[in-house]
């Protein structure tokens, strides 16, 4: 896997989730964000705990909000498997294994308090890691390993404290079952 040296691009999609082109990631998230391809990943450890991360305070959208383990965007012609492994390494310093898609058709649209819109077709994955993360400060403010039932309870009781995509994902029975 090579490091991306050119500016990161996202894959734009039509309403049937078919590629229509690409755009610079730095310009795509606005008040009128086009539908684009993304992914979300929940990482489990050998104790059955799920990794939750608090987004860095410098993030453009949802700064300081607790979320799933990590998210990202596959580049043009990049497989989900390669993109997820790349972002696990870049964002969390983690090697992951047993990558499995659990919500292949997940899509969401949400507007941040600043007015920036997330509009993503975003398959959701689960993976396993054997080590604790070494997060990039530009991506993650802090992290915690949580029992899945504690995460579900926290999101249900205070959904405003979590990213909207995590709150939506946690409502899905297939994800709850996969988390354990």
More confident residue, 4 or 163: 163
For residue 6, pLDDT over 80 is answered with no
Confidence grade of residue 26 (pLDDT, cut at 50, 70, 90):
confident
Q: Whole-model pTM?
A: 0.93
- How many other CB atoms sit within 10 Å of the CB of residue 113? 9
Q: Mean pLDDT for the chain?
A: 94
Q: Of 135, 179, 137, 128, nearest to 155 (Cα)?
A: 179
Confidence grade of residue 1 (pLDDT, cut at 50, 70, 90):
very low
pLDDT of residue 34: 95
State both tokens at 46: 């050998």
Catalytic residue (choose from 71, 91, 118, 122) = 71
Catalytic residue (choose from 41, 91, 118, 120) = 120
Strand partners, 130: none
Is 31 annotated in the active site?
no
State both tokens at 129: 């890691």
Can you list the positions of beta strands (E) in 32-155?
36-37, 39-44, 50-55, 66-67, 70-72, 96-103, 107-111, 117-121, 124-129, 140-146
Contact 24/109 with Cβ under 8 angstroms? no
For residue 2, pLDDT over 60 is answered with no
Is 120 annotated in the active site?
yes
């Amino acid at each position: 896997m090579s490091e991306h040296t050119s500016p990161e691009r996202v894959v734009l999609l039509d309403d049937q989730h078919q590629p229509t082109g690409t755009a610079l990631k730095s310009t795509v998230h606005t008040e009128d964000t086009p539908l684009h391809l993304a992914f979300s990943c929940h990482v489990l450890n050998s104790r059955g705990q799920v990794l939750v991360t608090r987004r860095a305070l410098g993030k453009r959208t949802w700064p300081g909000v607790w979320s799933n383990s990590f998210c990202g965007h596959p580049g043009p012609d990049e497989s989900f498997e390669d993109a997820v492994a790349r972002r696990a390494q870049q964002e969390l310093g983690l090697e992951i294994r047993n990558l499995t898609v659990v919500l292949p058709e997940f899509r969401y649209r949400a507007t941040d308090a600043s007015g920036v819109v997330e509009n993503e077709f975003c398959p959701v994955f689960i993976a396993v890691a054997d080590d604790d993360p070494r997060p990039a400060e530009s991506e993650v403010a802090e992290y915690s390993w949580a029992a899945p039932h504690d995460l579900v309870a926290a999101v249900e009781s205070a959904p405003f404290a979590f990213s909207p995509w995590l709150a939506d994902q946690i409502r899905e029975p297939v994800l709850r079952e996969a988390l354990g």
